[in-house]
Amino acid sequence: MSEARLVPERESIASIRAVLEQNGFDLAHEILRPDYLISPFPNLQTFLPQLERIDPVVRVLMRLYSVGEAIEPEIVESIFGREFLESNLATGLLVFDSSGTTVSTAGLQLVSRLGQYFVVSTSRAYPGFDPAAADVYLGPESYTLANYLQRRAGSLPSSGRALDLCTGAGIAAQSLAAVRRGVVWTGVDVSHQAVEAAAFNAALNETQDRYSAIQGDLYEPVRGGRFGLIVANPPFIPVPSALDFPIYGDGGEDGLSVLGRIIAGLPEYLAPSGRAIVYAEGLGDERGPWVLDQLEAASGAGLTIGITVLSTMSVEQALFTIGRMLSVQTPSRLDELRAWQELFAGNGATRYSKFIIDARVGTPAVVLRSIGALSTGSSGTA
């Protein structure tokens, strides 16, 4: 996806969406997957056997969009019609392989959630993962933020301007746009891949009249603007400076290089009655996540900030998780894990937390709340 691939052509996208809805694509995911509202991607080990027991037509859609299999175009056309095949090719959602004998999503996947659809980068756990098309990240934390926002939709602005920083596939903004139709959203992401996918998804979800995506660095493209609502799910992983890590996850050595800038900009970019909701994770100690220092500074400019810690683990467990993420199998990967071990040992962190920041314009205050006890499960370094 180094060049534009996805084309948000309305008629073609409408044709694709119609087939998805007519065949119950989203409902099938909800029925088949107990983690439907927790994780975007099916566990292939359990999902593939389930596909053999469902309607053959839905199975082809699942194989094509959810698994990323290459399928002969004649099969697609014979089941869904030529218009559907041509619409997929015209929008770039499906492409031919090098031999021209099969079509596939080629590094992309189609995720469904509560009647909406999002084209994203293929999961790293899937055979079709393509590092060159990996910037349109979607993960469990993306769902955590979307779920949090939708549960609180009634207390969020029903009109005005809203800003989705690090918009990625656009799931946070577009989930709310479906229920708060009077709000006009701007999504910002530094990745052109993400901006392209977010715009495509807006057309796919029929929210393009109230959501637009712009490429840029955080607040820079909207300088001088004020927003009634700001949401974000920024890169937050603490990454050793010597490592080449995907842009969607790299939060700098302290994990705060992006999150800290978002927090610092809230007093300037929130409207007088504005609110900001941010999901992030980060290092800390017995006092709490280290982001508290940034929150205290922003609060002094007129914000009432709540930070709810959802769960906490030891840094040893965090390293174990990183080791699993790296799937340590080669000396180079072992060197990367050692770099993380040295980083964590050198900065004095003892805990790693997942948290939601909920800030409002008001009396300066920071309130720390924890609903997740320190996890004491087994740990290791893989």
The pLDDT tens digits for 207-254 are 999 999 999 999 999 999 999 999 999 999 999 888 888 888 899 999
CA angle centred on 291, ends 285 and 294, rounded to 5°:
135
Cα distances from 142 to residues 40, 145, 222, in angstroms, run: 9, 5, 23
Banded model confidence at residue 3, pLDDT cuts 50, 70, 90: low
Distance separating alpha carbons of residues 149 and 140, to the nearest angstrom: 14
Banded model confidence at residue 328, pLDDT cuts 50, 70, 90: very low
Cα distances from 33 to residues 28, 43, 48, 53, 114, in angstroms, run: 8, 9, 11, 14, 13
pLDDT (0 to 100) of residue 327: 64
Mean pLDDT for 107-113 is: 97
The ranges assigned to domains in the chain are 10-123, 140-370
At 101, list the tokens: 């004998």
**Does residue 283 or residue 327 have the better pLDDT?**
283
The radius of gyration computed from the CA coordinates of the chain, to the nearest angstrom, equals: 21
Mean pLDDT for 91-98 is: 95
pLDDT (0 to 100) of residue 322: 78
Mean pLDDT for 170-177 is: 97
Distance separating alpha carbons of residues 359 and 230, to the nearest angstrom: 9
Banded model confidence at residue 333, pLDDT cuts 50, 70, 90: confident
User: Does the structure show a pLDDT above 90 at 321?
Assistant: no
Taking all residues of the chain, what is their mean pLDDT, rounded to a whole number? 92
Domain 140-370, architecture per CATH? 3-Layer(aba) Sandwich (3.40)
Q: What is the pTM of this model?
A: 0.92
pLDDT (0 to 100) of residue 274: 97
User: Does the structure show a pLDDT above 70 at 120?
Assistant: yes
